[in-house]
Structure 1
Amino acid sequence: MIRKLSICILLSLLFLQKISAKVYRIGSEQEFKAVQSLLIPGDEVVIKNGNYTDWSININNKGTLVKPIIIQAEKQGMVIFSGNVTKPIFSVSGEYVFIKGINFKDCVLTKTGVLIELATSNNCSISNCSFSANQAKSQFTPLVIISGNGSNNVVEGCGFISNVDNQDVQVKITKDTYPKLTLIENNIFRDKNKVSWPNGNGGECVQVGQDPVLLGNQKPETTVRKNRFIHCNGENEVISNKSSGNKYLNNYFEDNDGELVMRGGHDCIIADNTFKGGTGGIRINGTGHQLINNKIDGIQTAIRLMYGMAKGKDEIGFYISASDCTIKNNTISNATTGILIGDSKDADWTGKFDTKRYPSPVMQNVAPFNNTIEANSFKNVKVEEVKK
């Protein structure tokens, strides 16, 4: 009897909570700001179909696991933001706030312009949004940023198509702050042309960390999985890992002019990814990475283990030699070189980086060492392994 009464009370509370939640239909920035302070767990903000420009919304409201606060398009893809962007359109610093179904198209971003930032947010998500033909006017400008000391934020089911001179998704790591346990999942990145910047940098699809030399030991534990990267030619690094403890799982790469790059950091897992065609596979600097069960087909050099200026997790080097990595059960086919052990030997970086900011040797002369390479499969590969 007591158990039945408890269940009835619980169901009644849930019903009352459900009917207390509200749906706010808005059609302007002013209308959004007018209802924002009223938002409680379970509420929804529905943005009416239409074209919008020049918004800047800061969302610090808190939903719950059972009753998130949802901000969504009236109809997926029919709410379109465009025009000049000088500050974040949506900046989320709350909890359990979900942004869904919004289209960002033909936006022009300045250095301070961002389409969506999850800033010190927890358990927030961006899902089923479209980011297409947006252009950055300042180098290293991302469309989406996950920043601050939040955790468990998600970017899922979004499309990043034909964006220009930008980074698509950035996990921002500073000396004092970085988000933990970010998930970037089931997105498509496609048709990204080479950036116009003179040094060719700043066109990554996904960047996890920005300073691999001084901050590469930070452990955001980001997971990038089940994404598709097709015709992504923005720069040499389709994905740029510059921190530690991250996972890159079950992603698909096709005809990209670039690689999945462990530019810095340590102890990352790169597993079950598929590469078909294009110019690059996987490039490794750093210590303790695991490359397992990847399938790489039709790429000239499938896996590269790089020389560095220093070694290990404690020495400072502009590049860290690949060491103590495991390369196991990978399938490599139709390549000139399967696994290259020792690329960029004796590369001279004199004058190419600030040695005061980065107190590193300038010669890339520390060879890869103590790596385990076993049980890999090679088919139609001219050279299976090269040791220098």
Structure 2
Amino acid sequence: MLKTAFAPMALLAFVAALPAAARDVLVRDQAGFAAAAASLEPGDTIVLADGEWRDFAIKLVGEGTATSPITLTAQHPGKVILTGRSSLAVGGTHLVVSNLVFRNGFASGDEVIATRVGKRWSENLRLTGIMIDSFSNPDRRFEDHWVALYGRNIRVDHSHFEGKANAGAMLVVVREGKMPLDNRVTLDHNYFGHRPVLGSNGGETIRIGTSTESMSDSHSIVEDNVFERCDGEVEIVSVKSGGNVIRRNLFLASQGSVVLRHGNGNLVERNVFLGQGLPHTGGVRVINERQIVRDNYMEGLGGVDFTSAITVMNGVPNSPINRYLPVRGAVIERNTIIDAARITLGAGASDERSQAPQSTRFADNLIVNRDGKSPFRAEASLAGIAFVGNVASADPKVEGVVVERREVKLERAANGLLYPVGATAGAPRDLQPIAREATGVAWYPKPAGTRVAFGSGATVEVATGPALAAAVANARDGDVIQLRPAQYLLAEPLVVRRTLTLRGHSATLRFSAPTLFQLEDGASLQLRDLKLSGSAAPRQPGNAVIRASAKPMLVNYTVDIEDCAFAEMAGAPGFDVIATVPATLAETIRIVDTRIADVSGAVLAGHSEKGKEGFYNAERVVFDGLDMARVATIADLFRGGTDESTYGPQFTMTDSSIADSGAVLLSGVQETTITGNRFVRSGGIRVTHSVGSPHTEIAHNSFTATPAPVIEELHYTGPARALLADNRVSQ
């Protein structure tokens, strides 16, 4: 009887001890998600129904197990679109989130995806099949992160990140004292797509840690990813911790480098860097102790200085943790470097960065430049670098660099890489650059190329001002508007939202509004064979022929002008040809073979960003073959702050005539070339160096009744950093 009476009670106790059956819950709205997420058990799956989920701040907290994780996924991969002010916060253990798309919006806070909820971080988490496309805060100066990883044992894989245009890294491994510092994050098989030039510090694609906790090891791995056109700033992957591995990644046409910025004992191996000859495409920059850079392949890298194919920095003796700890014990071996613009050793040497590399080995590397030039440059003593077994196609012509000079014949192998015939130095022959198709998600296309080219669309002929306004309003990307040789009077600004060309057989454009062309997000403007007159513009300060949007712009714009004439712009003060606006960036401003006369403002007013954050208004400015007379200011281009994380601004002026005009004012410009110009009764050139290692060349110019060029150094105390050559100054 005792057994009979006890049996049902024992059975009930046994059933209660069993885990609850896993649930698959399809939810169709935010309320449904909240209900499902309130009582999660190991093995449960929440499925978001296909469709658009707007302004959805997802919070998922759960405790799964290794064999029964808790999952959040889409009903069908790529069919759940999170828009508006949406975000995802995940906390707990053994969680999986997959197949979600963030598009047409921006984060509701400082992070699109954060692997913590409150103080609860994540462990044993997988994010897979995640798509974030252009999910950028509308103000490019606002800093946020697309993926912020808090915790440990986190994997992000087979995801696609493209088009971040505001400040802040695409993906960060967050290392804070109250959280695990031994992160063991793995980032693999992801596609990191176009990251446009930010025009300030804070444009990294990946950052692992910060200087604060950099002396401990993160043990994170970045492997088998593609980085394509990741141009945000000089650091593509910014390593600010120790014990990390960067391997088997493909860096394709990306400006910047893998930078071992803080932390010791990191490994960079078996990566492929293909720069396609583009400026600022770099390889690896070495700082701190016990860094290993080996078995990498680098071809066509156009970067110099901090974005050289290999950069070994000078350090700061007894450096504070956030500056530049000296290089000690680095190993740089078995790398192939082909057609690189520069290998820089002792980079950034200055009164502060005075400690040359020590106990460093540069061995068994292959350096071939098919133009016969050597890429080596030393900016400090090389006594602390041992050179062993290196093969080079050209004499380094740098004291202390030891190579075996050899004629090297290259053949392209089945893996697409070049290898020497017979030489044994350089990268291993079994490298296999990861294919774009092996990264990201299969259900979302990778970008096919850059923006639409000028002149690639249809041609529309217009004969009147109203017809011109309608044609601009209705234009598609790449269209060409052809003007007749007539007078066009515009009463309202022509608002440009696409890539657009205006051509005119000497047509004249006059405007009675404060602005003729107003560039909105997504615009680029090309002008050919036009006359532009400010005679009908209001008699008030601040007019401009071309002006960037008054609202922040995320898409960098281009202005390209050739064979045009600008005149009658002195009837009101401060009348500019091109006026920049804060929170906008011109990728290129190019003016060629153009006459500019009677302008009360500037040809380029590029001084609207005034803060110390380092934002600026134009990346690349080219003036070539201009005839300028009675122009108040030729160019006023400014970049503030002291951070060294940008490539620009870059300013070039060649073969131009300047008469009875003001000055060229350049402050914080990183690259300046002013050659072959003629200044008469004008304000001359004033260059202020404030940041980085600027390159300034002012040569072969004539200055008649014009002051000689003035170079001012705000912070640097070493010898002059400008090349002034063959300039003729006369009264």
Which category describes the TM-score, using the shorter chain as reference length? Answer: 0.7 to 0.9
Aligned pair partner of 2:314 in 286, 307, 312: 307
What amino acid sits opposite 1:370 in the alignment? S
Residue 78 of structure 1 aligns with an amino acid whose one-letter code is K
Q: Does the aligned pair in 2 maintain the 1:50–1:79 contact within 8 Å?
A: yes
Distance across 2 between alignment mates of 1:317 and 1:151: 24
Shift of 1:384: 5.7
> For 1:8-32, what per-residue CA distance to the aligned partner results, in whole angstroms no more than 9, with x for missing partners?
xxxxx9xx97x92111000222111
What is the DSSP-based 3-state SS (H/G/I as helix, E as strand, rest coil) of the residue aligned with 1:369? coil
Tell me what 2:196 maps to. 193
Q: How does 1:170-181 map to 2 (within 5 A)?
A: 170-179=172-181, 180-181=183-184
Matching residue of 2:88: 90
For the pair 1:63 / 2:64, whether they are aligned, the reply is: yes
CA offset at residue 242 of structure 1? 0.9
Is the alpha carbon distance of 1:31 and 1:170 closer, same or farther for their aligned partners in structure 2, counting shifts above 3 Å? same
Tell me the distance in 1 between the aligned counterparts of 2:156 and 2:100.
Answer: 13
Give, in whole Å, the separation in 2 of the partners of 1:26 and 1:114. 24
For 1:258, the equivalent position in structure 2 comes to: 256
Cα drift, residue 83 of structure 1: 1.1
Equivalent AA in structure 2 for residue 303 of structure 1: I
Are the aligned partners of 2:57 and 2:85 in contact in 1 as well (CA < 8 Å)? Answer: no
2:288 partner SS: coil
Indicate yes or no: 2:221 matched with 1:223: yes
Aligned partner of 1:205 in structure 2 is 205
Does the 8 Å CA contact 1:309/1:317 hold for their aligned counterparts?
no
SS in 2 for 1:219: coil
Distance 1:59 1:291, change over 3 A: same
Please point out which of 290, 293, 313 is paired with 1:288.
Answer: 290
Equivalent in the alignment of 2:358:
369
Query: In the aligned structure 2, how far is the partner of 1:206 from the partner of 1:235?
Result: 11
Rg larger in structure: 2
Deviations 1:325-351 (A, max 9, x none): 1001111111133x32111111x6xxx
Note the C-alpha offset of 1:90.
1.9
On the 8 A contact 2:172/2:208 being kept in 1, the answer is yes
1:219-368 equivalence runs, <5 A: 219-277=217-275, 278=278, 279-300=281-302, 301-310=308-317, 316=321, 318-337=323-342, 339-346=343-350, 363-368=352-357
For residue 117 of structure 1, the aligned residue among 114, 117, 122 is 114
Kept in 2: contact 1:244–1:266 (CA 8 A) = yes
The aligned residue for residue 48 of structure 2 is 47
**Maintained 8 Å contact 1:51/1:82:** yes
- Would the aligned equivalents of 1:227 and 1:251 in 2 still touch at CA under 8 Å? yes
Pairing partner for 1:143 from 133, 143, 146? 146
Q: Distance in 1 between matches of 2:338 and 2:44?
A: 52
- Identify the range of structure 1 (374-383 vs 271-280) with the bigger mean alpha-carbon deviation: 374-383
* Number of aligned positions between the proteins: 344
The percentage of counterpart residues that share the same residue type is 25
The Cα of 1:106 is off from its aligned counterpart by 2.2
In structure 1, stretches of 5+ residues that fail to align are 1-12, 349-362
Tell me, yes or no, if the aligned pair for 1:261 and 1:283 is still in contact at 8 Å. yes
Contact 1:249 1:273 in 2 (8 A): yes
In 1, distance between residues paired with 2:133 and 2:104?
7
Q: Which residue identity does 1:276 align to in structure 2?
A: L
Kindly state the Cα deviation for residue 103 of structure 1 after the two structures are TM-superposed.
0.2
Render the CA deviation track for 1:292-340: whole Å, top value 9, x for unaligned: 10001111331000012136xx864611222211001111111133x32
When normalised by structure 2's length, the TM-score is 0.45
The answer to whether the 8 A contact 1:308-1:317 is kept is no
AA of the residue aligned to 1:207 = R
SS at match of 1:38: coil
Q: Is contact 2:268-2:293 (8 Å) kept?
A: yes
Aligned residue for 1:383? 374
Q: How does 1:76-87 map to 2 (within 5 A)?
A: 76-85=77-86
**1:30 partner SS:** helix
TM-align CA RMSD: 2.0
Seen in structure 2, the aligned counterparts of structure 1 residues 316 and 162 have a Cα distance that, compared at 3 Å, is closer
Distance 2:55 2:177 in 1: 32
In the TM superposition, what is the alpha-carbon distance from 1:55 to its structure 2 partner? 2.0
Letter paired with 2:317: A
Segments of 5+ residues of structure 2 without an aligned counterpart are 1-14, 303-307, 381-731
After alignment, is 297-306 or 377-386 more displaced? Answer: 377-386
